Amino acid sequence: MHYHQYYPIDVINGPGTRATLFVSGCEHQCRGCYNQSTWRLDSGHPFDQGMADRIIADLSDTKIKRRGLSLSGGDPLHPANLAAVSALVARVRAECPGKDIWCWTGYRLDELSEAQWQLVEQLDVLVDGRFEQALADPALRWRGSHNQRIIERPRRQACGNSQDQATLTASQKESVSC
Ligand code: SF4
């Protein structure tokens, strides 16, 4: 996997003070995407052990406390990124107890493959769906367009038949539990 940018201290992408990793690689090609330079899988820098160690160290920092890790891009759920992102998420769970993990993806919940679900079920929050220019709204928090949803604790069993309910709820408040 490659990554484009890493913000060791970030108060924009998710709640509280966080560490944020922007990975490389996205196949959605949304019109109006602000991050087109991240589309290519080999853009940016190789994500290596040293970078993973740095993220763990930042999340463990007691001087500047981070609430958690944000994973954005590009698309962390691009099939080519799943192994490396899953390994990072597993390390955060094992070595940084109490930290939350948010992830932004262009895939909708109902489009996820089995392999993507295995990662998604380890997350605290998934912001799903492509950026839709016609539904864009700069006043939205943590998402760019109204079709995107902030889904707390995305789990297969709970989400299986609740797409209509989740969409309805998302239009009424900013985050949904599915
Ligand atoms: S999913 Fe995100 S990074 Fe990918 S094209 Fe759409 S807006 Fe850009």
Which pLDDT does position 164 carry in this prediction? 38
**Best residue among 2, 3, 20, 26 to mutate for probing ligand 1, ranked by most atoms within 8 Å of CB:** 26
pTM: 0.91
Residue 10 · residue 20 · CB < 8 Å: yes
Q: Whose CA is nearest to atom 8 of ligand 1?
A: 33
Q: pLDDT tens for residues 5-43?
A: 999 999 999 999 999 999 999 999 999 998 899 999 999
Reply yes or no: is the peptide bond before residue 74 cis, omega within 30 of 0.
yes
Dihedrals phi, psi of 37, to nearest 5 degrees: -65, -10
**Best residue among 3, 33, 135 to mutate for probing ligand 1, ranked by most atoms within 8 Å of CB:** 33
- Output the CA 39–ligand 1 centroid distance in Å: 8
Q: Which domain holds residue 136?
A: 2-177
Segment 74-83 mean pLDDT: 98
**Nearest C-alpha neighbor of 151 from the set 103, 83, 87:** 103
**Number of structural domains in the chain:** 1
Q: What is the 3-state secondary structure (H, E, C) of 30-96?
A: CCCCCCHHHCCCCCCEECCHHHHHHHHHHHHCCCCCCCEEEEECCCCCCHHHHHHHHHHHHHHHHHC
- Output the CA 91–ligand 1 centroid distance in Å: 26
Beta bridge mates, 6:
21
